[in-house]
Amino acid sequence: MKKRILALLLCLGLLPLGGCAAMLERGHVSSADHVDYAVEDDDESILRAESYAGLVNSILYMVDGHRGGGTIRLYHYAGDVEADLAAAREAVLQTPVGAYAVGTLELDSTRILTYYEVKLTIRYTRTAREVEDIPDVMGLTGVRQELNRLVSERRRSVTFLASYFTGDKSLVEQLFRLACQGVPELFRHHQLSASGDGTGISVALYPETGARRIIEVKLNLPFGTDGEEQSYAEQLEVASSALLEEHPPAGEGYTVEELAALVRTTAVTWEEEGSDLALDALSGAGASDFGLLMAMEHLCRQCGIGVEPVDGGQGLWLIVNTPQGSRHLLPQSLRPVPPPEDGEERSEPEFRLYTDRELTELGYEWATSLYPVCLDTGTGG
């Protein structure tokens, strides 16, 4: 973490204000190429600065060292000291570490002959170790990796520093739901993801906006124990393995269509308010769309077929890998066919996968930037 803050200080202090320090630019600040703050008399608790940028960097230096206070001496300062102190305080509290770890930041100035002496008092809400242990991630991919790790390792919380990520709390919650839905065996996590209203998950961003923030996610898992989830995962593994062994593929490996047919046949019945458990769908106990999709996703993963859930405007569905490329698989293709009436023949539904264009034409909506592109390659599918 110290390396991150030092890099930020260099970015703010050593470059001209037209670059990284633009956010700190003031009308009276010179953009001269020199270090704009320094240690006074070999005492790291006393810093010297001559500009607004130097003032801010000096405060950040204190925060980086997790110091409880210190002194900044402003020499040849041409600005409005009191106004700049208020602006500098706000600027520091809007940095990731400032927003995350600083509880109170007090700045008091006194005029002493040729300079202003600013006394700092800093109180923290986090320990230095907590801040130093925060990992760095880059962009949307890095955020998703941390959330996937949170879910797959069954942890209760995660904190990380994300750069080049401008999403809000709702996006983090959506990415968390996708992480839960990407692990079919974690049925307790699905109860969190199914609510869609953030129940059971607490997301905090430090600061709220910007492209570089600390993200903190805490989970309040529903009833049950980790042992229950482990037992469920083992039962699901046994049931799926037995099902695949009983129904081998026609060729060298299973196709998406074969696995979908297997889910339809095995689930027996479909109910809108049926079970959300993949195990029930693969054990003939009937299921909801969610349960059917989790069953299909689990079988795809068992068979080495790339698959990931899509949380769209019309609900949940899957994107699966096929020889023709990525394709959308809707839950309708997994629903068991109702028993025929007397004298009628049982008819299997037409199996259908969709490209992005085809699904859009049907009125479906989803955040395309979060998912693989399903292009029409002209080879069918």
Per residue in 99-145, pLDDT tens?
999 999 999 999 998 999 999 999 999 999 999 999 999 999 999 99
Question: In the structure encoding, which two tokens stand for residue 367, read together?
Answer: 């955040």
Q: What is the pLDDT of residue 22?
A: 35
List C-alpha distances in Å: 95 to 17, 63, 107, 180, 272: 17, 11, 17, 30, 47
Q: Which of 28, 91, 32 is nearest to 63 (CA)?
A: 91
- Count CB neighbours of 358 within 10 A: 15
Cis peptide preceding 207, ω within 30 of 0: yes
Residue with more model confidence, 208 or 347: 208
Per residue in 371-381, pLDDT tens?
999 998 765 44
DSSP run (H or E) holding 39: strand 37-40
What is the average per-residue pLDDT within 319-334? 96
Q: What is the pLDDT of residue 104?
A: 97
Query: Is the CA virtual torsion 352, 358, 360, 366 positive or negative?
Result: positive
For residue 276, pLDDT over 90 is answered with: yes
Q: What is the pLDDT of residue 5?
A: 44
Q: What is the pLDDT of residue 320?
A: 98
Q: Which of 172, 144, 161, 140 is nearest to 212 (CA)?
A: 161
For residue 242, pLDDT over 90 is answered with: yes
Of all residues in the chain, the percent with pLDDT exceeding 70 is 82
- How far apart are the C-alpha atoms of 122 and 130, rounded to whole Å? 17
61 CB contacts (<8 Å, ≥6 apart)?
9, 37, 47
Q: What is the pLDDT of residue 44?
A: 73
Q: What is the pLDDT of residue 343?
A: 57
For residue 14, pLDDT over 60 is answered with: no
pLDDT bracket for residue 18 (50, 70, 90): very low
Question: In the structure encoding, which two tokens stand for residue 24, read together?
Answer: 């700190």
Q: What is the strand order of the sheet 157-163 is part of?
A: 136-138, 157-163, 212-219, 201-206
Per residue in 44-66, pLDDT tens?
789 999 999 999 999 999 999 99
Which pTM does this prediction carry?
0.82
Q: What is the pLDDT of residue 40?
A: 60
> Using an 8 Å Cβ cutoff, are 292 and 334 in contact?
yes
Q: What is the pLDDT of residue 7?
A: 46
Q: What is the mean pLDDT of the chain?
A: 86
What is the average per-residue pLDDT within 146-153? 95
Per residue in 335-347, pLDDT tens?
998 776 665 665 6
- How far apart are the C-alpha atoms of 203 and 215, rounded to whole Å? 7
* Nearest-10 Cα torsion for 299, 187, 356, 363: 130
Window from 56-70, 96-110, 216-230, 243-257 with minimum mean pLDDT: 216-230
What is the average per-residue pLDDT within 269-283? 93
What is the average per-residue pLDDT within 182-196? 80
List C-alpha distances in Å: 91 to 57, 117, 272, 296: 10, 20, 52, 50
Q: What is the pLDDT of residue 43?
A: 65
Residue with more model confidence, 2 or 179: 179
Number of H helices, E strands in the chain: 13, 12
- How far apart are the C-alpha atoms of 291 and 282, rounded to whole Å? 9
What is the average per-residue pLDDT within 169-179? 94
Q: Which of 63, 39, 41 is nearest to 49 (CA)?
A: 39
Helical spans, DSSP H, in 28-136: 52-64, 81-93, 96-101, 128-132
Q: What is the pLDDT of residue 378?
A: 64
Q: What is the pLDDT of residue 28?
A: 27
Q: What is the pLDDT of residue 286?
A: 85
